[in-house]
Amino acid sequence: MREPTLDELAGITWWNSMTEPERAAALAAAGWKAGGRFTPSAADAWARHIQRQETLKMEQPEIIRVELELPDPEALALAQLVKRITWEAMRECSANEDECYRIRAAIERLRRALGEVGYAPR
């Protein structure tokens, strides 16, 4: 048995970090359909995710810097929100799947920024 590649490890981590509904959405994005002949695997979903990420990178949008001051309770509440928000909630607020992926990327940046200043609830 061989060791997984770095890409495979990244895919495993990505898959394991998702909730069951998020996994279902990823499989649907990879081509799963009820009653269909093709049943995508987690690896297929990972490949589709990477493809979408590459598409988003190719767009190379202008980078915007946002500075924000929050009282401690609001910063903690916001950190909790970005930790708990689900794919379904993001999808409900999106016009389409591409926008949903952009929302998820922005929320991840916000989560990291909050963590860097000490608001990373576990």
Whether residue 46 is found in the same domain as residue 68? no
Whether residue 50 is found in the same domain as residue 101? no
Whether residue 56 is found in the same domain as residue 76? no
Ordered per-residue pLDDT tens for the chain, 122 residues: 889 898 888 899 999 999 999 999 999 888 888 777 888 999 999 999 998 888 777 776 778 888 999 999 999 999 999 999 998 999 999 988 888 988 998 999 999 999 999 998 76
Whether residue 38 is found in the same domain as residue 84? no
The answer for residues whose C-beta is within 8 angstroms of residue 101's C-beta and 6 or more apart is 52, 53, 56
101 burial (CB, 10 Å; 0-12 / 13-18 / 19+) is buried
Choosing from 9, 28, 60, the residue where a domain stops is 60
Whether residue 42 is found in the same domain as residue 95? no
Q: Phi first, then psi: what are they for 118, rounded to 5°? A: 95, 10
Both tokens of 20, joined, read 């069951």
3-state secondary structure of 88: helix
Q: Are 75 and 119 in contact (CB under 8 A)?
A: yes
Choosing from 28, 60, 92, the residue where a domain stops is 60
What's the pTM?
0.53
Whether residue 54 is found in the same domain as residue 23? yes
Structural domain containing residue 27: 1-60
Sign of the Cα torsion 9, 10, 13, 14 reads negative
pLDDT the model gives residue 122: 67
Give how many domains the chain has, as a whole number. 2
pLDDT the model gives residue 113: 92
pLDDT the model gives residue 78: 95
3-state secondary structure of 118: coil
pLDDT the model gives residue 43: 92
Distance CA 98, CA 60 (A): 14
pLDDT the model gives residue 76: 93
